[in-house]
Chains A and B, each alone.
Chain A
Amino acid sequence: MIVAICFYIFAAVLVGSAVMVVFSKNPVHSVLFLILAFFNAAGLFVLLGAEFVAMILVIVYVGAVAVMFLFVVMMLDINFTELRKGVQDYLPIGLLIGFILLAEIAAIAGGWSMTDGIATTITSATPPASEVTNTDAIGRVLYTDYIFLFQVAGLILLVAMIGAIVLTHRNRSGVKKQDIGKQVRRRRHEAYEAVKVKPGEGI
């Protein structure tokens, strides 16, 4: 009973805030609604017993991605009302495509039938959730069975890093950089000069 109530609350708030992300006038509000949506999605995951994914959602999406969005929205001077101008024109066709897709997916779901013998082909059966936690279950396979994918993911992140540097890093002239060697090499006689000041005259 409580689970059902929680589900409907999370689901309703999730859908509501997702709609508000698209329709709110102020972009900062949009991002805040996005964060609310993430939290509710995390709640749904907890209800499913997927606490690891729920925590990742909060930490990565709320903690990193959404905050970065907020920075971008606040720092860039984008006229969002200008961007949203065409909505009225595109709405009918967008809705049409959306309905067609929905109908098609409904057709697939209607013809739902698992392939025979799914129990034998199922990849790596995880231990029952009552025995181990999610994190434990993932940890058991991530660095053993799926070490290959883990390493390739690392390579992909390396490429992303190289790409970000290649596309944005510039050697600007006239930028003052700290040169520690130069600072250490600096001698006393370069830095100051002793001047005899006569009384009443100043320098």
Chain B
Amino acid sequence: MTEIFPNLEIAYGEIFLSIGAMLLLMVGVFKKDSVNLVSWLAVGFIVITMFLSLAVGSEQTFTLSNLFVVDGFTQFMKILVLVASALAVIMSREFFRLEGEDRFEFPVLMVLATVGMMIMVSANDLMSLYMGIELQSLSLYVLAAFKRDSEKSTEAGLKYFVLGALSSGILLYGCSLIYGFIGSTNFSSIATAVGGIEEGSASVGVVVGLVFVLAGLAFKVSAVPFHMWTPDVYEGSQTPVTAFFSVAPKVAALALLARTLYVPFGDLSGSWAQVVIFMSVASMILGSFAAIMQTNIKRLMAYSSIGHVGFALLGLIAGNAEGIRGVMIYMTIYLVMNVGMFVCIMSMRRKEEGMVEDIADLSGLAQNHPVMAAFISIFMFSLAGVPPLAGFFAKWYVIIPIVNAGYFTLATIAVLASVVGAYYYIRIVKVMYFDAPAEEFVPQKSLPMKVIVTLSAILVLAFIAPQISSPVLDHAQAAAQGLSQK
């Protein structure tokens, strides 16, 4: 008991958002038909939380008995998570307004999941890591099964829940092994204990524990070979849920993975690097090859996200500040591209059929909806990594560090995988521009959706301009320095 009253200032963001979630729950329960109000309040709360997180400052501070940490890295990642969540709440609002099934619990669960993600990002102890993951996952399981009279959505929720529970079990088993062999769950203490071990002589128990923890975290970022759930869950959930799944939880889980590997186990990099290399290569290859056969655009985005996680993991392998910076830039750009693409997917709505999600439905889109086709092409080219779009720079900043670190084979595989990936991204562009037109979509009338898609397209196009890219690069640089020093 070192502190009588913990320094709560640096956790104001999390505290505010948790109280906000409960407040939203009250509003939703006591005020009839308040979905609209609850959603916009949720967005407002998330924006305020963003400012609170920014106000914390980027100096490294521990609080709550060292269970919680704040530094430049957590700040950067929290902002990404919060932006992704706020956009997902807005997108789901617009989606449900047309689809019906309007329930105020939806934004509340999203806000609670966001709290979980913030705790994940700020975790400085295996126990807070686990609590954050559980808070986030439990909300996500419910969101996946939200449309309960749809068989697919229920299946998605159940599948995610069962596999997620299994992965949590594996993670916990790893944590208990680490605790048993090191005597502490705190990241700083583990780092001290691990630092005293000479290379190669680490206790088997610690390494096995670390591998179990890695397996659990790999499930959360859906890296191969723990990716099986991703396509089914992405396809089965409703589109705004998929949009939410594909960005915010990934950012949080990658941030957690980066911290877990660099802070407590930084000195064991020889032991975890081979595991991460395998996951990264397997994800990139599976992500590019399996996506070729897909006909459903949400499944395609699922495989694409698996591939992108593979690329992001490359940055971790480099094992230095440059690599971490690469991961942060990658996730930032990935967020922008994915959000934009999902707005386009949500605009695939026909009068009689309602929502459609087959790639064949996009056929000849350029003739009926030239603007939407242009947007999708921009995002597809960017996801494929075609210069001068943002997606190219994302890949650039993770591949350069591993080349500098001497992993030439890995870099070659990454480039080849992205070439294969380019095939299925650009095939969609071909379908839109050169195939016979399919039936028209209902035009997208919602203003927020238009704003989101236009902004993200502009960011993707303009990332080459130093005015846009340098703030991201500078912040990521400063934050990455902080993480890799310890």
Give A contacts to B, CB under 8 Å: 107-108, 111-123, 144-149, 152-153, 155-156, 158-160, 162-163, 165-167
Mask, B9-42, CB within 8 Å of A = 1, is 0000000001000100100000000000000000
Instruction: Please give, as numbers and ranges, the residues of chain A lying within 8 Å of B132 by CB-CB distance.
Output: 152
Beta-carbon contact of A155 and B115 below 8 Å? yes
Among B142, B157, B184, B206, the residue within 8 A (CB) of A159 is B142
Known A146-B65, A166-B142: A122·B184 in contact at CB below 8 Å: yes
User: Chain B: interface residue count, which band?
Assistant: 35 or more
Q: Give A152 to B116 CA distance when docked, in angstroms.
A: 9
Flag whether B416 is at the interface (Cβ < 8 A). no
Instruction: Please give, as numbers and ranges, the residues of chain B lying within 8 Å of A113 by CB-CB distance.
Output: 203-205
Mask, B82-118, CB within 8 Å of A = 1, is 0000000000000000000001010011001001100
Among A123, A149, A155, A167, the residue within 8 A (CB) of B189 is A123
Flag whether B238 is at the interface (Cβ < 8 A). no
Q: Give A201 to B157 CA distance when docked, in angstroms.
A: 68
- Which among B70-78, B190-198, B215-223 touches the partner chain? B190-198
Q: Give A145 to B281 CA distance when docked, in angstroms.
A: 41
Instruction: Please give, as numbers and ranges, the residues of chain A lying within 8 Å of B116 by CB-CB distance.
Output: 155
Instruction: Pull 12 A–B residue pairs with CB atoms less than 8 Å apart, ordered by A.
Output: A111-B204, A115-B181, A119-B183, A121-B184, A122-B183, A144-B1, A148-B67, A156-B134, A156-B135, A158-B22, A159-B135, A162-B25
Q: List 16 additional contacts besides A117-B193, A146-B65; criterion CB under 8 Å.
A: A107-B204, A112-B205, A113-B203, A116-B197, A121-B183, A123-B185, A144-B65, A146-B67, A148-B65, A155-B112, A159-B109, A159-B142, A163-B139, A165-B105, A166-B105, A167-B142
Instruction: Please give, as numbers and ranges, the residues of chain A lying within 8 Å of B183 by CB-CB distance.
Output: 114-115, 118-119, 121-123
Beta-carbon contact of B128 and A163 below 8 Å? no
Instruction: Please give, as numbers and ranges, the residues of chain B lying within 8 Å of A145 by CB-CB distance.
Output: 1, 65
Instruction: Please give, as numbers and ranges, the residues of chain A lying within 8 Å of B193 by CB-CB distance.
Output: 115-118, 121
Closest to A105 in B: B208
Interface residue SS majority, chain B: helix
Smallest CB–CB gap between A105 and chain B, Å? 9
Beta-carbon contact of B109 and A152 below 8 Å? no
Instruction: Please give, as numbers and ranges, the residues of chain B lying within 8 Å of A112 by CB-CB distance.
Output: 203, 205
Q: Give A18 to B293 CA distance when docked, in angstroms.
A: 46
Beta-carbon contact of B141 and A163 below 8 Å? yes
Smallest CB–CB gap between A115 and chain B, Å? 5
Instruction: Please give, as numbers and ranges, the residues of chain A lying within 8 Å of B138 by CB-CB distance.
Output: 156, 159-160, 163
Mask, B35-64, CB within 8 Å of A = 1, is 000000000000000000000000000001
Closest to B206 in A: A115
Instruction: Please give, as numbers and ranges, the residues of chain B lying within 8 Å of A119 by CB-CB distance.
Output: 183
Beta-carbon contact of B119 and A166 below 8 Å? no
Beta-carbon contact of B181 and A148 below 8 Å? no
Q: Give A149 to B48 CA distance when docked, in angstroms.
A: 24
Smallest CB–CB gap between A80 and chain B, Å? 20
Beta-carbon contact of A162 and B105 below 8 Å? yes
Beta-carbon contact of B182 and A121 below 8 Å? yes
Smallest CB–CB gap between B364 and chain A, Å? 40
Flag whether B413 is at the interface (Cβ < 8 A). no
Closest to A112 in B: B205
Smallest CB–CB gap between B115 and chain A, Å? 7
Mask, B245-256, CB within 8 Å of A = 1, is 000000000000
Flag whether B230 is at the interface (Cβ < 8 A). no
| A113, A118, A144, A152: most-surrounded residue (chain B CB, <10 A) | A152
Flag whether B403 is at the interface (Cβ < 8 A). no
Beta-carbon contact of B203 and A114 below 8 Å? yes
Instruction: Please give, as numbers and ranges, the residues of chain B lying within 8 Å of A166 by CB-CB distance.
Output: 103, 105, 109, 142, 146
Beta-carbon contact of A155 and B65 below 8 Å? no
Closest to B66 in A: A145
Q: Give A149 to B127 CA distance when docked, in angstroms.
A: 8
Among A117, A147, A163, the residue within 8 A (CB) of B64 is A147
Q: Give A44 to B429 CA distance when docked, in angstroms.
A: 65
Smallest CB–CB gap between B79 and chain A, Å? 21
Q: Give A160 to B137 CA distance when docked, in angstroms.
A: 11
Smallest CB–CB gap between A103 and chain B, Å? 13
Beta-carbon contact of B135 and A114 below 8 Å? no
Flag whether B148 is at the interface (Cβ < 8 A). yes
Q: Give A155 to B108 CA distance when docked, in angstroms.
A: 12
Flag whether B145 is at the interface (Cβ < 8 A). yes
Q: Give A147 to B63 CA distance when docked, in angstroms.
A: 11
Among A108, A147, A158, A167, the residue within 8 A (CB) of B208 is A108
Instruction: Please give, as numbers and ranges, the residues of chain A lying within 8 Å of B131 by CB-CB distance.
Output: 149, 152-153, 156
Known A121-B184, A155-B18, A159-B109: A108·B127 in contact at CB below 8 Å: no
Flag whether B379 is at the interface (Cβ < 8 A). no
Instruction: Please give, as numbers and ranges, the residues of chain B lying within 8 Å of A146 by CB-CB distance.
Output: 65, 67, 127
